[in-house]
Amino acid sequence: MIRVPFHLADPALEPIATKVLAGERLSRDDGLALYASHDLLGIGQMADHVRRRINGDRVHFMVNRHINPTNICENRCKFCAFSRSKGQDGAYEMTLEEIVRAAEECVPQGAHEVHIVGGLHPDWPFEFYVEMVRRLRQALPEHVIIQAFTAVEIEHYAKISGLSTLEVLRTLKEAGLQALPGGGAEIFSERARRLAWDKKTSADDWLRIHGEAHALGIKTNCTMLYGHIETLEERVDHLIRLREQQDASGGFLAFIPLAFHPLNTELSDLPPTTGYDDLKTLAIARLMLDNIPHIKAFWIMLGLKVAQLSVAFGVDDLDGTVVEERITHMAGAATPEALSKDELLALIRETGHTPVERDTLYNVVRVYEEA
């Protein structure tokens, strides 16, 4: 028996701690035992151990800009406060010129990424999205990476173009697409999907599309929307399916748990997530996802205080400056929409970690050794 160097208040965590120290993969039952335990600090210490093994004392961040070209969407998921039907009050659509201008604005700030996610517009043809990527690639310096379109959007483009999702990805890659964001995964449960996002991409299709992207050399992220109608078992199963996909195709860079925001949604009776659940979920993700290199705390959804604390609970990435964010803010997020690079640096430095500025693909832009 290996001596366990963690201070565990819950003896049920001891066999898990032994596996963590030996670098052994955790099982579904281990995941459930972690959720059943109230020893948040014990779970956090184990997650911190794994984080240090993978990422040392580095905490990543980036200078980026999010752009949401339209909120007009055919799907109208029950958890979404962002989407509108065509012609509805508050519906908007950006022109290609406006999208390119928004992207160009972030270049003087030192951005290394534009992150583009939007609704499934009923009239925009696939060529519009190809042209968007092509014009962005022409307008932006090479170091600014275009991370755009969730698997849900890729599936929609296949539907409207008659192409396969693989052909859609190949066409977008040729136009300049370099990475896919991780949205649209929600919870890989057919039960939950039927109840709250029945028109949206199934778990099998979401995973297949990411596998196809990986096969084409397009790196992607993955997410889990939690704190709504899902069960804890469904959360653990979700993590295991991501882990299996990563074993098979290997192209996930980061996992981002997305804390559900209920305001202005059809699930507005539900309470928001708690800081306790947020930290526990991030830590359990670090422990279960032994083959995904980075765990990202999206400060926009978690709030700055929980995001900063999360670096002691397995997180090695605080995302970026963001600049403009609509999806969570329309659902009640109280965070600012933008942070400066100095604010991100200060948040990370206070925790005693080394801030590392990165690009989308985790190429190091700069290591900030000293204040």
Q: How far is the CB of 150 from ligand SF4 (least distance, A)?
A: 7
Q: How far is the CB of 17 from ligand V47 (least distance, A)?
A: 30
Q: How far is the CB of 183 from ligand V47 (least distance, A)?
A: 2
| Contact residue for ligand SF4 among 16, 59, 60, 82 (CB under 6 A) | 82
Binding mask 38-67 for ligand SF4 (x = CB under 6 A): ------------------------------
Residue 75 binds which of ligand V47, ligand SF4, none (CB < 5-8 A, kind-dependent): ligand SF4
On whether the CB atoms of residues 62 and 320 are closer than 8 A, the answer is: yes
Residue 144 binds which of ligand V47, ligand SF4, none (CB < 5-8 A, kind-dependent): none
Q: Which residues pair with 268 in a beta bridge?
A: none
Helix-then-strand count for the chain, H and E? 14, 11
Quote the Cα angle for 125-78-188, to 5°. 85
Footprint of ligand V47 on 113-152 (CB under 6 A) = 117, 150
Residue 186 binds which of ligand V47, ligand SF4, none (CB < 5-8 A, kind-dependent): ligand V47
Q: How far apart are CA 118 and CA 281, in angstroms?
A: 26
On whether the CB atoms of residues 28 and 240 are closer than 8 A, the answer is: yes
Kindly determine how many residues on this chain lie close enough to bind ligand V47 according to the rule CB under 6 A: 24
Question: What one-character-per-residue DSSP string does 70-121 give?
Answer: B-B-S---TT-SS-B-TTSTT--B--HHHHHHHHHHTTTTT--EEEE-----
Q: How far is the CB of 146 from ligand SF4 (least distance, A)?
A: 19
Footprint of ligand V47 on 149-208 (CB under 6 A) = 150, 181-184, 186
Separation in Å, CA 262 to CA 32, 52, 224, 335:
25, 34, 16, 15
Residue written as token pair 């190091």: 364
**157 near ligand SF4 (CB under 6 A):** no
Largest CA distance in the chain: 65
Q: How far is the CB of 120 from ligand SF4 (least distance, A)?
A: 6
Q: Which stretch binds ligand SF4 (CB under 6 A): 57-65, 76-84, 108-116, 161-169?
A: 76-84
Residue 223 binds which of ligand V47, ligand SF4, none (CB < 5-8 A, kind-dependent): ligand V47
Q: How far is the CB of 367 from ligand V47 (least distance, A)?
A: 21
On whether the CB atoms of residues 313 and 282 are closer than 8 A, the answer is: yes
Closest CA to 61 of 289, 271, 345: 345
Q: Which residue, 6 or 129, has its beta carbon nearer to ligand SF4?
A: 129
Residues in the chain: 371
Q: How far is the CB of 271 from ligand SF4 (least distance, A)?
A: 20
CA 48 to centroid of chain Cα atoms: 20
Q: How far is the CB of 2 from ligand V47 (least distance, A)?
A: 35
Footprint of ligand V47 on 283-302 (CB under 6 A) = 298, 301
| Contact residue for ligand SF4 among 18, 27, 75, 249 (CB under 6 A) | 75
On whether the CB atoms of residues 335 and 304 are closer than 8 A, the answer is: yes
Q: How far is the CB of 268 from ligand SF4 (least distance, A)?
A: 15
Closest CA to 228 of 264, 288, 269: 269
Q: Residue 239 has which token pair?
A: 């993590």
| Contact residue for ligand SF4 among 83, 171, 189, 245 (CB under 6 A) | 83
Residue 76 binds which of ligand V47, ligand SF4, none (CB < 5-8 A, kind-dependent): ligand SF4
Q: Which residues pair with 224 in a beta bridge?
A: 257
Torsion angle of the four alpha carbons 342, 257, 55, 352, in this order, in degrees rounded to the nearest 10: 40
Write out the residues near ligand V47 by the rule CB under 6 A. Answer: 79-81, 117, 150, 181-184, 186, 221, 223, 225, 256, 258, 260-261, 265, 298, 301, 319, 327-328, 331
